[in-house]
Amino acid sequence: MSEGMADLRIFGGTAHPQLSERIARAVGTPLGDLTVTSFPDGETFVKINENIRGRDVFIVQPTCPPTNQNLMELLIIIDAARRASAARITAVLPFYGYARQDRKDQPRVPITAKLVANLLVAAGTNRVLTLDLHAQQIQGFFDIPVDHLYALPVFFEHLKRRQLDNLVVVSPDMGALKMASAYAQALGADVAIVGKRRKSATEVEHGHLIGDVQGRNVLMMDDITETAGTICSAARVLKDHGARQILAGVSHALLNRTAQERLRESCIDELITTNSTPQKESGDFRLTVLCVADLLAEAIKRIHCGESVTSLFRIGGATGT
């Protein structure tokens, strides 16, 4: 470890230990010694097994399913680090759970994304590092610094190697339009939009297409999928309008059984995602998992050294979503 990194410590919760290890390796420091166990009644117990007094501590924990368990574990680790006199605590959330509950869109409902922000600050978080938030305004829910990275550079390098010709980037709904536009700008491609009407939490219905996909390769981009309803339904519309090869790119893939069944039966040729959340191998559909460890590691090093992270998400003038 270099002299400039001597005061840096990286700890990983149980949500995604493989990613924590990769990040620590990329930073060039061993992963911190942390014990996380459960009491018989399910309560989480945490112990930091090394001295972190005066250290710059980074805690890696995506709040993916089981969301409540992983979130509570993160809060407990942060509290342990604060009580151990860490100089600064940065919560590294490759995936920010509850991000879709970011506004009061019907009577008597919570804004849970804001509640999570409050909990992180109350626990002792001094800074947050996250990736592809569902809504950018979530940064404003915090009264502490938030470094919001984009997966665009990671996707860009992969797609550039693929050398896809006659490409059009498609937004599977209006909410992903800004993201699709950023990818189209970086890749030098056109943009199209598929209209969507949500029937329930797990079912959507797509209708009209704005743009031309006839005989063209298509890249659908979205920030998150759980049941794959949106991308599979949109893919059917694209295929009906003459799309050639259909790729779906998703920053965070929380693929449950319903999603796997839908992807298996869909006309999506390949799903490209990141390891921001744990991914299982799939023999039923073509799944490509890109690693974000180097991106997060570089951000951690720059934050620790007081350097800018802006250049980490600039691609040919595009700055993500």
Structure tokens at 277: 């959340």
Instruction: Please give the full DSSP string across 28-41, using - where no structure is assigned.
Output: TSPBP-EEEEE-TT
Cis check for the bond before 66: say yes or no (omega within 30 of 0).
Answer: yes
CA triple 269-274-318, angle to 5 deg:
95
Handedness of CA 167, 172, 178, 179 (dihedral sign): negative
Question: Is 159 in a helix, a strand, or coil?
Answer: helix
Q: Report, in angstroms and rounded to the nearest whole number, the Rg of the chain calculated over CA atoms.
A: 20
Do residues 292 and 129 touch, judged by C-beta distance below 8 A? Answer: no
State the catalytic residues.
196
Q: Which phi and psi angles does 2 have, rounded to 5°?
A: -70, 160
Alpha-carbon distance of 168 to 243, in angstroms, equals 10
One-letter amino acid identity for 302?
R
Do residues 31 and 291 touch, judged by C-beta distance below 8 A? Answer: no
Instruction: Please give the full DSSP string across 248-287, using - where no structure is assigned.
Output: EEEEEE---HHHHHHHHHSS-SEEEEETTS-----SSS-E
**Cα→Cα distances 192→29, 218, 246, 266, 272, Å:** 44, 9, 13, 20, 19
Do residues 247 and 219 touch, judged by C-beta distance below 8 A? Answer: yes
- CB-neighbour burial class of residue 251 (10 A; exposed 0-12, middle 13-18, buried 19+): buried
